[in-house]
Amino acid sequence: MSEIKPVLLRLRASTIEMLKAELDVSAHRSQSSLADELLVRQLESNIRQRHIQATMGHQVPLPHRVAEQAERG
């Protein structure tokens, strides 16, 4: 089971309103559990995107490198 730490986050009023609206249509019982799930989903997505970009960077030559290689002949 994951450790739960109490954390104080300063959120914009508009973010809190969106969180409240999402809570109304979700199965979550608290804003904290909903916010935790949303943060985890987005952070995991960010990690996957960075991994994909890093992998693609090694596979696909950058345009300026292609041009340099063409100049070298």
Cα–Cα distance between 35 and 23 in angstroms, integer? 9
Task: Decide if 15 is inside a domain.
Answer: no
Q: Is residue 52 part of a domain?
A: yes
Tokens of 14: 């508009």
pTM (2 d.p.): 0.68
Over the stretch 45-69, which tens digit does the pLDDT of each residue have? 999 999 888 887 766 566 666 566 6
Mean pLDDT of the chain: 86
Please give the residue range of the domain that contains residue 68: 47-73
Residue 14, pLDDT above cutoff 90: yes
The tokens describing 15, both together, are 């973010």
Count the domains in the chain: 1
In a domain, 34, yes or no: no
Instruction: Tell whether 65 is covered by a domain.
Output: yes
C-alpha dist (Å) from residue 39 to 30, 34, 52, 72: 14, 9, 20, 48
Q: What pLDDT is recorded for position 53?
A: 85
